[in-house]
Chain A
Amino acid sequence: MKILIIDDEKEFAGTLCQRLQLRGYEVAEAYSGAEGIEELGRFLPQLVLLDLKMPDMSGLDLLKAIRDSWPAVRTVMLTGHGSGRAAEEALRLGAEKCLMKPVELAELLALIEENAEDGGE
Chain B
Amino acid sequence: MKNFISRLFPPISGEIETIAELERRYRHFFRGLTILLLALVLIPLIFISFLSYTQYKKMLEEEEVGRLLLNVEQAENTVELFVVKLHSVINFAAHEDRYQELLQPGGLHRLFVRLRNAFPDFTDIEVIGPDGRSAAREGGESSPAHNYTGQPWYQQTLRKGSYISNIFTGFRGAPHFVVAVARPLPNGGHWVMRVNIDGKTLQRYIDTVGATAVDDLFLVDQNGILQTKPKRYGARGEKCIFPPGRPLSGRSAGEVQRQRRAVGGEFQIDIQVAGGKEVLRAARPVGRTPWRLVMVKEVYSYGHKWLSFRNRLLLSFLCCAVVAVLIIVVISRAITSHIRNSDRKRQQFLSEAENSNKLASIGRLAAGVAHEINNPLAIINQKAGLMADLMEITGDFEHKKAMAEALSGIDNSVERCRAITHRLLGFARHTDVRSEEIDINELLQNVTAFVEKEASYSQVEIISHFADGLPALVSDQGQLQQVFLNILNNAVDAIGTDGRITITTAREDAAHLRIEIADTGCGMSAETLARLFEPFYTTKPVGKGTGLGMSISYGIIKKLGGRIKVSSTEGEGTCFTFVLPLKNGENQAG
Q: List A residues at the B interface (Cβ < 8 Å).
A: 9, 11-12, 15-16, 18-19, 22, 80-85, 100-103, 105
* Inter-subunit contact B429/A101 (CB<8 Å): no
* Inter-subunit contact A22/B385 (CB<8 Å): no
In angstroms, Cα B367 to Cα A9, docked, is 19
* Inter-subunit contact A101/B426 (CB<8 Å): no
* Inter-subunit contact A102/B418 (CB<8 Å): yes
Shortest beta-carbon contacts, A-B, top 10: A82-B425, A80-B374, A15-B382, A101-B378, A102-B381, A102-B378, A84-B431, A11-B379, A101-B374, A102-B377
B375 on the A face (CB < 8 A): yes
Contact with A along B388-399 (1 / 0, CB 8 A): 011001000000
* Inter-subunit contact A19/B382 (CB<8 Å): yes
B8 on the A face (CB < 8 A): no
Query: Within B356-413, which residues are at the interface with A (CB < 8 Å)?
Result: 367, 370-371, 374-375, 377-383, 385-386, 389-390, 393
In angstroms, Cα B382 to Cα A12, docked, is 7
* Inter-subunit contact A82/B389 (CB<8 Å): no
* Inter-subunit contact B367/A80 (CB<8 Å): no
In angstroms, Cα B379 to Cα A105, docked, is 12
Q: For residue B370, which residues in chain A have a CB less than 8 angstroms away from its CB? A: 82
Q: Can you give 20 contacting A-B residue pairs, CB < 8 Å? A: A12-B378, A15-B379, A15-B385, A15-B386, A16-B382, A19-B382, A22-B389, A80-B374, A80-B375, A80-B378, A81-B374, A81-B425, A82-B367, A82-B370, A85-B432, A101-B374, A101-B377, A102-B378, A102-B380, A102-B418
In angstroms, Cα B379 to Cα A85, docked, is 25
Give which listed residue, B375, B383, B429, contacts A82 with CB less than 8 A. Answer: B429
Contacts A19-B386, A105-B385; A9 near B375 (Cβ below 8 A): yes
Rounded to whole Å, the gap between the CB of B94 and the closest CB of chain A is: 146
Q: For residue B371, which residues in chain A have a CB less than 8 angstroms away from its CB? A: 80-82
Give which listed residue, A9, A11, A85, A100, contacts B422 with CB less than 8 A. Answer: A100
Beta-carbon nearest neighbor of B428 in chain A: A82
Rounded to whole Å, the gap between the CB of A91 and the closest CB of chain B is: 13
Q: For residue A102, which residues in chain B have a CB less than 8 angstroms away from its CB? A: 374, 377-378, 380-382, 414, 418
Beta-carbon nearest neighbor of B414 in chain A: A102
Q: For residue B414, which residues in chain A have a CB less than 8 angstroms away from its CB? A: 102
B430 on the A face (CB < 8 A): yes
In angstroms, Cα B382 to Cα A100, docked, is 14
Q: For residue B383, which residues in chain A have a CB less than 8 angstroms away from its CB? A: 11, 15
Q: For residue A80, which residues in chain B have a CB less than 8 angstroms away from its CB? A: 371, 374-375, 378
In angstroms, Cα B379 to Cα A18, docked, is 13
In angstroms, Cα B371 to Cα A81, docked, is 5
Which of B377, B379, B393, B431 is most buried by chain A, counting CB atoms within 10 A of its CB? B379
Q: For residue B367, which residues in chain A have a CB less than 8 angstroms away from its CB? A: 82
Rounded to whole Å, the gap between the CB of B405 and the closest CB of chain A is: 19
Rounded to whole Å, the gap between the CB of B350 and the closest CB of chain A is: 31
Q: For residue A82, which residues in chain B have a CB less than 8 angstroms away from its CB? A: 367, 370-371, 422, 424-426, 428-429
Give which listed residue, B377, B389, B418, contacts A19 with CB less than 8 A. Answer: B389
In angstroms, Cα B414 to Cα A69, docked, is 38
Contacts A82-B428, A83-B429, A84-B430; A9 near B378 (Cβ below 8 A): yes
Beta-carbon nearest neighbor of A85 in chain B: B430
Beta-carbon nearest neighbor of B385 in chain A: A105
Q: For residue A18, which residues in chain B have a CB less than 8 angstroms away from its CB? A: 386
Q: For residue B418, which residues in chain A have a CB less than 8 angstroms away from its CB? A: 102
Give which listed residue, A12, A16, A85, contacts B375 with CB less than 8 A. Answer: A12
* Inter-subunit contact A22/B393 (CB<8 Å): yes
In angstroms, Cα B389 to Cα A105, docked, is 11
Rounded to whole Å, the gap between the CB of A108 and the closest CB of chain B is: 10
In angstroms, Cα B430 to Cα A83, docked, is 7
* Inter-subunit contact A19/B385 (CB<8 Å): yes
Q: For residue B424, which residues in chain A have a CB less than 8 angstroms away from its CB? A: 82
Rounded to whole Å, the gap between the CB of B59 and the closest CB of chain A is: 93
Q: For residue A100, which residues in chain B have a CB less than 8 angstroms away from its CB? A: 374, 422, 425
* Inter-subunit contact A12/B379 (CB<8 Å): yes
In angstroms, Cα B422 to Cα A100, docked, is 8
Rounded to whole Å, the gap between the CB of A49 and the closest CB of chain B is: 12
In angstroms, Cα B426 to Cα A112, docked, is 26
Q: For residue A103, which residues in chain B have a CB less than 8 angstroms away from its CB? A: 378, 381
Q: A11-B383, A22-B393, A85-B432 are in contact. List 20 more A-B contacts (CB 8 A).
A: A9-B379, A11-B382, A12-B378, A15-B382, A15-B386, A18-B386, A22-B386, A22-B390, A81-B374, A81-B425, A82-B428, A83-B430, A84-B430, A85-B430, A100-B422, A101-B374, A101-B378, A102-B374, A102-B381, A105-B382
In angstroms, Cα B389 to Cα A16, docked, is 11
Query: Within B415-429, which residues are at the interface with A (CB < 8 Å)?
Result: 418, 422, 424-426, 428-429
Q: For residue B432, which residues in chain A have a CB less than 8 angstroms away from its CB? A: 84-85
In angstroms, Cα B411 to Cα A105, docked, is 12
Q: For residue A15, which residues in chain B have a CB less than 8 angstroms away from its CB? A: 379, 382-383, 385-386
Beta-carbon nearest neighbor of B367 in chain A: A82
Beta-carbon nearest neighbor of A83 in chain B: B429
In angstroms, Cα B371 to Cα A102, docked, is 11
Rounded to whole Å, the gap between the CB of B392 and the closest CB of chain A is: 9
Beta-carbon nearest neighbor of A104 in chain B: B381
Q: For residue A101, which residues in chain B have a CB less than 8 angstroms away from its CB? A: 374-375, 377-378
In angstroms, Cα B394 to Cα A22, docked, is 12
Beta-carbon nearest neighbor of B373 in chain A: A80
Rounded to whole Å, the gap between the CB of B431 and the closest CB of chain A is: 4
Beta-carbon nearest neighbor of A11 in chain B: B379
In angstroms, Cα B426 to Cα A19, docked, is 29
Q: For residue B377, which residues in chain A have a CB less than 8 angstroms away from its CB? A: 101-102
Beta-carbon nearest neighbor of A15 in chain B: B382
In angstroms, Cα B382 to Cα A16, docked, is 6
Q: For residue A85, which residues in chain B have a CB less than 8 angstroms away from its CB? A: 430-432
Beta-carbon nearest neighbor of B424 in chain A: A82
In angstroms, Cα B375 to Cα A100, docked, is 10
* Inter-subunit contact A84/B378 (CB<8 Å): no
Q: For residue A81, which residues in chain B have a CB less than 8 angstroms away from its CB? A: 371, 374, 425
In angstroms, Cα B375 to Cα A11, docked, is 10
Q: For residue B375, which residues in chain A have a CB less than 8 angstroms away from its CB? A: 9, 12, 80, 101
Beta-carbon nearest neighbor of A106 in chain B: B385
Beta-carbon nearest neighbor of A22 in chain B: B389
Beta-carbon nearest neighbor of B374 in chain A: A80
